[in-house]
Amino acid sequence: MKKKLISLISTVLLVSSGFAAWAAGTPNSSIIHIALTAPITGDYAEYGNNFKHSVEMAIDEINANGGVLNKKFELSVGDSKGDPKESAMLAQKWTSDSTIVAQIGDFTSTCCMAAQPIYNRAGMIQLSPTASHTKFASGSKWSFSVYGSQYWEQPVMAALAVDKLKFKNMALLYINNDWGVDTQKSFKENFEKRGGKIVATESYFQGETDFNAVLTKLKEFKPDALFLATMYNDGALISKQREKMSWNLPVIGASALYSPQLIQLGGTAVNGIYSNVSFFAKDPDPRIQAYVSTFEKKFGNTPNFAAALAYDCVYILADAIKRAGSVDRNAVRDALASSKDFKGLAGSITFTAERNAIKTYKPVQVINGEFQLVE
Helical ranges in the chain per DSSP H:
2-25, 45-64, 84-95, 109-122, 150-159, 178-193, 212-220, 232-244, 260-266, 286-299, 305-324, 329-337
Binding mask 72-91 for other proteins (x = CB under 8 A): --------------------
Size of the site for other proteins (CB under 8 A): 35
CB of 251 to other proteins, least distance (A): 16
Q: Within 217-256, which residues bind other proteins (CB under 8 A)?
A: 217, 219-220, 233, 236-237, 240-241, 243-246
Of residues 258-277, those binding other proteins (CB under 8 A): 261, 264-267
Name the 3-class secondary structure at 26: coil
Q: Give the Cα separation of 130 and 143 in Å (integer).
A: 12
Residues 15-44 that bind other proteins (CB under 8 A): 41-43
Angstrom CA distances, 298 to 50, 66, 224, 260, 295, stand at 12, 21, 43, 17, 5
Decide if residue 214 touches other proteins (CB under 8 A). Answer: yes
CB of 337 vs other proteins, minimal distance in Å: 34
Residue 279 sits in the site that holds other proteins (CB under 8 A): no
Burial of 302 (C-beta count, 10 Å sphere; 0-12/13-18/19+)? middle
To other proteins, the closest distance from the beta carbon of 101 in angstroms equals 29
Report in angstroms the alpha-carbon separations of 283 from 292, 295, 322, 346: 10, 15, 29, 10
Strand partners, 74: 33
Distance, CA of 28 to CA of 50 (rounded, Å): 29
Query: Least distance from C-beta 157 to other proteins, angstroms?
Result: 22
Of 265 and 320, CB closest to other proteins: 265
CB of 11 to other proteins, least distance (A): 23
Closest distance of CB 356 from other proteins, Å: 28
Question: Which residues of the chain form contacts with other proteins (CB under 8 A)?
Answer: 41-43, 45-46, 176, 202-205, 207-210, 212-214, 216-217, 219-220, 233, 236-237, 240-241, 243-246, 261, 264-267
